Structure 1
Amino acid sequence: MKSFSNICIFAGIITAATGALCLTEITLASVNIRTSISPTTVTSASGLPKKYTETVTSVGGDKISFDMVLIPGGEFLMGSSDNEAGRKDNEGPQHKVRLKPFYLCTTETTYELFWVYYEETVQRDRDKARKKVQDVDAITGPTPIYGDPTMGMGGGTKPAIGATWLNAMTFCRWLSKKTGKKYRLPTEAEWEYAARAGTETVYFFGNDSKQLSTYAWFEDNSEQATHEVAKKKPNPWGLYDMLGNVLEWVQDFYNPTAYAAAAKKSPVLNPKGPKQGKVHVARGGSWESGAEDLRCAARAFEEDFWRFQDPQDPKSKWWLPQMGFIGFRVARTAEAAESEPRK
């Protein structure tokens, strides 16, 4: 069992959220939770739907849908306190962050949706599809997958696993072209803000790790495998699997001292992380993580061993063979949604 000293991310993509969504009030029975935002500090996104369903059509004509929920803008305290159990040095110092409203998928990206991308960029009309996702930096679509892409865990509405950060970013570009909307990965600050859902406790449901099994798949209950998204209870903002199931890529480069720099500018407005780096951050913990790595403040980042199982030389830029604990969730800028034509 691998141990991660940094984690806390994913939310999903294929299954519709079933819980009621409340953007300005949080009610959790029998749990004492301090809220870091209030109805008076939440930023209004005038005219935008609180939730919408996106649908894409596969090459074969199948329609795959996923839900996006509007995350209210506001201010929160990012990172962990000095006395939080399980805290790592890279989680501090705590600092204030202010964010504009944005959309986040209610689930992690599933294989159902990921295969539509894979078919269009690798298996069918490859050259034409790759041209669509080509950017000024000459990044094209992914190469074919080596071995079993599900790593024996199954596809369908289970989270897509093993994609590198570059692959996840390219998926977002493809999805943007496919839908006409500007999808992307969330920033690290957006991810933690959404995961906390207005709370300042260790987990979004409080401080008691014994309650984790109600909300997350992790080492105590996962049976060492991924699970279908949205099978556990969501957080107060209607996001599933933000803790556990799979780690989720975010936009930011990783820097262990990034928070120290941010604290000097607190409050930081819509941070996007370090401007450069060698590896990227992942959040939320996975099916093989312990309780301390599912804390909302826990941070993970790509490590060298993630690529050790790749038999190719040079190592693939697109896939992480046998790394069945990493996936991603998509976001969308609310301002971009306002400027896009309504269908």
Structure 2
Amino acid sequence: MSESSALQWLRAPRLAEDTLPVDSHAVACRRCGRTVQVSLSPMRPPSFLSVEDQVECPEVQERWSGTSEGGLLLMMCGALEQSLEGDWDTGDVDAAARHEPPPIIPSARPRAVRQAVDPSPERWEDGDDDDGEEAAAAGWWRSLLARSAGLSKTLVRATIGFLVVSIVFLGGVLLPLREIKLLIQSPPGLMGSSGPQREALTVAPPSPRRVLLESATAPSDVQPGSRPPASGFVAPRQVASVEVAPPAAEPAPRAAPEPEPKLRVPDMVAIAGGTFAMGGDDDSEQPAHQVSIRPFSLGKHPVTVGEWKSCVAAAACPDIAAGADDRPVINVSYEDAQAYLAWLSRATGRTFRLPTEAEWEYAARGGQRTRYWWGDRMRPGMASCKGCNGSSDADTDQPPKIGSVQANPFGLFDMGGGVGQWVADNWHKNYKGGPADGAAWLEEGSYARVIRSGSWKNGPAEARAGSRDRYDGRIRHPTLGFRVASSP
């Protein structure tokens, strides 16, 4: 009950006991010294006659503000009760109080706020109805919660009971049925076997196709005049039966692995060592000097387009080759040639390199001292160069295919004309200070490399055995190729 409801109750309409005679008595308060009117009735304890007197009472105000226990419905302060002890029979008051229900004391402390109270009957009845509705709603919620708790317990018990029944059913019904089925499928005379023998016999039931095959041989065991078994079940025979296995699923066709690129190694010609006079007519070919050559091997032809493609397929060389596989590879720099030689050495397990300038000239002369290995003058069909054969080979973008001219006495082709060929040496303007043992003459920091043989676009003078030229080893040129060499 709120504070306003309490005040309304104090000012409620006349009840039955209010119609009884009421004695009003002026009493002096021993605490505050005020004289207030006190209601003396045989049906209720003494109380303030006026609500204003009750509200102005200091003791009531203290209880109202929360400094002391109690509430607004304190009927009488302690000081007034002491003043009334001589004038009021407490026994009559107690007797009257037994017939009067005690006022409802609110659980929460009211705030010390004075507010006007409307003593109209409508406000009183509305507050009473609200309290009844609140009590009914609280009771309905408690009832609903009680029913929900009972329902949850019922569902839990039902679930546990269902699980227990299921486990009992699986353990007591399905497992015995499985054992009976296995006993029925076991051959006669071995139903009592155990251990590995029993495990070997408890196999899966035969397929329908196997039962049909065994049924076809059953009449041989049936006595004449006997009746066939009532059921369609045919017991397995102790003799070995033919097991027809279902056809195995064909494996998915695998993609055929890509064939590995064929390794094409240049044909090599073994060259015996010896001593020869190295040099020629041009100033860069002077002075002529004796050089000793150790045995080595040299490619029979310049490296071809087909041989270069093997290195390209292995991702070890740049894809720069053009033309037919039987033509010399061109547009190759000195560094490209070194990449090919490194790959070929790894692929074959042998060591390949470029020939030195002395080795190349020794092999090109074929043991002769003349300008060409066949003599001092150009002859048709002996070299692929511009104007050497009276043909228009020099006007084409590709060199003639390998083996287009005769081989020299060592069995080597295109050692004059064909393609210009890289050798291992750095360029020097002449042979002064050159090595005499046939080793490569190198100069650190120099990119100029020696070119030998001339090409199909150069004239006969470039096809001489002693002719030499130079080019930057980092740059490719459309007329330059190479051939490989190796030491024993």
Q: Normalising by structure 2, what TM-score?
A: 0.44
Decide whether the 8 Å contact of 1:216 with 1:243 is kept in 2: yes
1:261 maps onto 2:261 in alignment = no
Shift in Å, 1:61: 4.0
- The C-alpha deviation readout for 1:128-161, integer Å capped at 9, x for no partner, is xxxxxxxxxxxxx55554xxx42xxx22110000
Unmatched segments (≥5 aa) in structure 2: 1-257
Identity of matched residues, %: 32
Counterpart Cα distance in 1 of 2:402 and 2:478? 15
Contact 2:312-2:318 at 8 Å conserved across structures: no
What does the per-residue CA deviation read over 1:22-62, in whole Å, with 9 as the maximum and x for residues that have no partner? xxxxxxxxxxxxxxxxxxxxxxxxxxxxxxxxxxxx96444
Structure with greater helix percent: 2
Unmatched runs of 5 consecutive residues or more in structure 1: 1-57, 81-86, 122-140, 307-316, 335-343
**C-alpha distance in 2 between matches for 1:253 and 1:65:** 27
> Match for 1:282 among 438, 451, 455?
451
The answer for the alignment partner of 2:62 in structure 1 is none
Q: Please tell me whether residue 243 in structure 1 is matched to residue 416 in structure 2.
A: yes
Which residue does the alignment assign to 2:264? 64
The equivalent of 2:59 in structure 1 is none
Report the Cα distance in structure 2 between the residues aligned to 1:172 and 1:93, rounded to whole angstroms.
Answer: 32
> Does structure 2 retain, via aligned residues, the 8 Å contact 1:255–1:274?
no
Deviation at 1:325, TM superposition (A): 1.0
Matches within 5 A, 1:201-240: 201-209=370-378, 211=379, 213-220=380-387, 221=391, 222-225=393-396, 226-240=399-413
Checking the alignment, whether the CA contact within 8 Å between 2:450 and 2:470 is kept in structure 1 is yes
Partner of 1:11: none
**TM-score of the aligned structures, taking structure 1 as reference length:** 0.62
1:198 to 355, 364, 367: 367
Partners of 2:357 and 2:450 within 8 A in 1: yes
Is residue 284 of structure 2 the alignment partner of residue 113 of structure 1?
no
Letter in 1 for 2:427: Y
SS at match of 1:190: helix
> 2:265, 2:314 → 1: CA distance?
17
Counterparts in 2 of 1:206 and 1:274: CA distance versus 1, 3 Å: same
Task: State the alpha-carbon separation in 2 of the partners of residues 189 and 59 from structure 1.
Answer: 41
Which amino acid letter does the alignment assign opposite residue 383 of structure 2?
A
Distance (whole Å) between structure 1 residues aligned to residue 424 and residue 440 of structure 2: 7
Q: For residue 454 of structure 2, what is the amino acid of its counterpart?
A: G
Q: Count residues in correspondence.
A: 224
Distance 2:443 2:298 in 1: 23
Q: Does 1:173 align with 2:342?
A: yes
Task: Confirm or deny that 1:328 pairs with 2:488.
Answer: no
Q: Secondary structure at the match of 1:107?
A: coil
Asked which structure has the greater RCO (Cα within 8 Å, sep 6+), the reply is 1
Matched, 1:295 2:464: yes
Q: Secondary structure at the match of 1:98?
A: strand
Task: Please give the per-residue CA displacement for 1:68-104, whole angstroms capped at 9, x wherever unaligned.
Answer: 1110101000011xxxxxx321100000000100000
In the alignment, the residues of structure 1 paired with residue 272 and residue 278 of structure 2 have an alpha-carbon distance, to the nearest angstrom, of 16
Q: Considering only CA atoms, is the larger Rg found in Structure 1 or Structure 2?
A: 2
Cα displacement (A) at 1:108: 0.5
* Separation in 2, partners of 1:164, 1:324: 10
Partner residue in 1 for 2:223? none
1:102-136 CA-to-partner distances (Å, cap 9, x unmatched) read 00011000000001111212xxxxxxxxxxxxxxx
